[in-house]
Amino acid sequence: MGRSVHVQSDNTTDMEISSPQQAAADSPQSPYGVGFPPRRKLASQFAHRVKETFFSDDPLRPYKGQPRSRKLFLGLQHLFPIFDWGRSYSLDKFKGDLIAGLTIASLCIPQDIAYAKLAHLDPQYALYTSLVAPLVYSVMGSSRDIAIGPVAVVSLLLGTLLSDEVDPVKNKEEYLRLAFTATFFAGVVQAALGFFRLGFIIDFLSHAAIVGFMAGAAVTISLQQLKGFLGIMDFTTKTDIISVMKSVWRAVQHGWNWQTILIASAFLAYMMVSKYISKKKKKLFWVSAIAPLISVILATFFVYITRADKKGVQIVRKIEKGINPSSAGKIYFSGPNAAKGIKIGVVAGMVALTEAIAIGRTFAAMKDYQLDGNKEMLALGSMNVIGSLTSCYVATGSFSRSAVNFMAGCNTAISNIVMSLVVLLTLLVITPLFKYTPNAVLASIIISAVIGLIDFQEAHRIWKVDKLDFLACLGAFFGVVFISVEIGLLIAVLISFAKILLQVTRPRTVRLGNLPGTTIYRNVEQYPDTIQAPEFLIVRVDSAIYFTNSNYARERIMRWLRDEEDYVKENNLPKINFLIVELSPVTDVDTSGIHAFEELHAALRKHEIQLLLANPGAVVIQKLRSSGFIDLIGQDKIFLTVGDAVQANCAPKEGEA
């Protein structure tokens, strides 16, 4: 694998340029045969496979050739990245972090109080979550831009899953304990995925499915807000659009509360306008960032002055003062509730992880730093485990707050610490002031926050690029909106999988032709200029040949041959004598694939057609060799390129003619 000077670009020396020329003139075939890679021992093959599967990011790279004490320090840094970036932290960076931290705090406090309702929990639990989780993350996490806390989608998902098991009003204490249990196991699952380097599992939720799921969740969450927005007392506990619309319609007859609607609409309008302003002028990002806080302050003040709560405007009423109590004793570690907690925790934990990793990756790409997915999972998992012991529920990265954090100029996770301290002050001092905050303004805050999760542009782009992806996107969306959050998620995963299976079951096969004047052979549909060599049929299979598609591939090749033989007969062209299978895209075969080759070879022999193979890759040639297929067809039937295969089998015939 040594490097040497490149020859192709250097046209001056005779020797180097003569060879391709001569190759083209004298013997048009290239002077190379197909390479047989050196056989590797089973153990080294296995080690290589394991490394690529679980350690593809080569995490031990910085440790190579370091003394032991340094290795220990690097390991500590790896687990707690704060030791890494903390050493070069400066006052200059702190300025940015302070402003960003204060901004996201002003956004997070009203959002928290609102999101807790989605999870059917008292508002203080969301504030507790915003106090502890960011502190843990800032020590262990490696994203510099993510803003940690409760988020709308996970709150809704948790609320739905938990209330399927326990009634949040009748069995309040049991519900709370189950919430902590689910949070604990969500954290354990997240940390375990990271620790066992199984982070790639979250990749199974495709981008398109996430877009659909998020939009569906946004619609569902907004619909849920109609309760607070319209001041409806008796509201369904279901989340599907039909149940919600029935509830809303039933409430019409009892009369909606006009004062509530007035408050809600006014502040929603204010927040939407401020969002629009921030979008138009990036510098004015703070206008939309502080809008929720201003809305809460104004609305609370307004209700307090007018005593609108006596006229049917529902208010927060009570919010616990003081910092997080311990909840370690409240987690179920055994019994049926532990099983329920594990089930809910796994689902909520995976969704939370998907959201956090997507955010982390987006901002890491924008600022060009590496983000180790497995390490992030360990950090997020530890955060939720610690959170579950201190009265927090599942926290993750928030899309809206992370964007604000980024635009406010955050430099490190210190902005999360600043936010956490502001939340601490809030919990210690000013929570009683939220007593008169109307639920209506909280509904407006949620609606204005989640509306950004509906990404029409991206949906349109998915439609343009890949119709099956769009189907996954739509499936997830309608599943969430019309059935439930879990079913939507399930549909998204199933369609994504079905797409993979379709691809491995029905790979494309194409026919190749020669680009005149070159030795290049390409897909005849993509390159209409191509011409066919007489006596040859050249096909390419566009996939690894596995048990899922080996029969299809073989039968499809035979169908190409039948079609071509019919065509040849009709037009009195020379009979097909050679079938070349171009194997460049065939990255692997298994035993079923080799069977298919054997059957193809046998069938072709009956037709008196020779089977030639072009450009088998390293793995394919090894397997063809160890299965004895190469001995069966003869090593002279395997060529470096399609051009070589054509020329080697053309030349003698031309000479005879």
Name the minimum Å distance from CB 356 to a second copy. 14
Q: Are strands 509-514 and 521-523 parallel, antiparallel or unpaired?
A: antiparallel
Task: Quote the tokens at residue 247.
Answer: 């509830």
- Minimum distance of a second copy from residue 221's CB (angstroms): 24
Query: Toward a second copy, which CB reaches closer, 325 or 574?
Result: 574
CB of 207 or CB of 238, closer to a second copy: 207
Residue 399 Cβ vs a second copy, minimum distance, rounded to whole Å: 16
Between 21 and 90, name the residue whose CB sits nearer to a second copy.
21
- Distance (Å, rounded) from C-alpha 426 to C-alpha 445? 19
- In terms of Cβ atoms closer than 10 Å to its own Cβ (0-12, 13-18, 19+), residue 79 is middle
Per the CB < 8 A criterion, the answer to whether 234 and 251 are in contact is yes
Give 262 or 366: the residue with its C-beta nearer to a second copy. 366
Nearer to a second copy, 168 or 373 (CB): 373
340 vs 522 by CB, closer to a second copy = 522
State the Cα–Cα distance between residues 258 and 602, nearest whole angstrom.
81
Who contacts 12 (Cβ-Cβ below 8 Å, separation ≥6)?
A: none
Q: Give 112 or 564: the residue with its C-beta nearer to a second copy.
A: 564
DSSP H/E element including 581: strand 578-582
Q: Which of 524, 514, 511, 509 is nearest to 647 (CA)?
A: 514
Minimum Å gap between C-beta 44 and a second copy is 12
Rounded distance, CA 643 to CA 639, Å?
Answer: 9
Report the residue number, 172 or 499, with the smaller CB distance to a second copy.
499
Contact call for residues 475 and 495 (beta carbons, < 8 A): yes
**Closest approach of a second copy to the CB of residue 557, in Å:** 11
Q: Which is nearer to a second copy, 387 or 643 (CB)?
A: 643
Shorter beta-carbon distance to a second copy: residue 206 or 437: 206
522 has which bridge partners?
513
Asked if residue 360 lies in contact with residue 376, where contact means CB atoms within 8 angstroms, the answer is: yes
Residue closer to a second copy by CB (options 170, 464) is 464
Nearest approach, Cβ of residue 3 and a second copy (Å): 4
Annotate 71-140 with three-state secondary structure.
HHHHHHHHHCCHHHHHHHCCHHHHHHHHHHHHHHHHHHHHHHHHHHHHCCCCHHHHHHHHHHHHHHHHHH
Phi-psi sector, 275: left (phi>0), alpha (psi -120 to 50), beta: alpha
Strand 509-514 with 536-541, pairing? antiparallel
Cβ partners under 8 Å of residue 342, min gap 6: 185
Q: Is the dihedral of CA 315, 317, 320, 321 positive or negative?
A: positive
CA 54 vs. chain centroid, Å, equals: 18
Closest to 473 (Cα-Cα) out of 499, 504, 446: 499
* Shortest distance in whole angstroms from residue 213 CB to a second copy: 13
Q: From CA 574, how far away is CA 276, in angstroms rounded?
A: 70
Residue closer to a second copy (CB basis): 252 or 365 = 365
**Least distance from C-beta 501 to a second copy, angstroms?**
8
Closest distance of CB 138 from a second copy, Å: 25
Q: Which is nearer to a second copy, 35 or 432 (CB)?
A: 35
Given the complex with a second copy, which of 254 and 559 has the nearer CB atom?
559
State how far the Cα of 351 lies from the Cα of 136, in Å rounded to an integer.
Answer: 20
Q: Give, as one character, the DSSP assignment of residue 427.
A: I
Q: What is the DSSP letter of 206?
A: -
Rounded to a whole number of angstroms, the minimum distance from the CB of residue 202 to a second copy is 9
Q: Could you tell me the CA-to-CA distances from 371 to 61, 100, 374, 375, 421 in Å, in that order?
A: 15, 21, 9, 8, 26
575, 568 in Cβ contact below 8 A? yes
Contact 415, 363 (CB under 8 A): no
Amino acid type, 277: I
Q: How far is the CB of 165 from a second copy (least distance, A)?
A: 27
Contacts of 634 (CB under 8 A, 6+ apart): none
Closest separation in Å from C-beta 506 to a second copy: 5
Least spacing, CB of residue 635 vs a second copy, in Å:
15
Task: Sort 619 into a burial class: Cβ within 10 Å, 0-12 / 13-18 / 19+.
Answer: middle
Q: Which is nearer to a second copy, 36 or 94 (CB)?
A: 36
Q: How far is the CB of 576 from a second copy (least distance, A)?
A: 11
CB of 119 to a second copy, least distance (A): 29
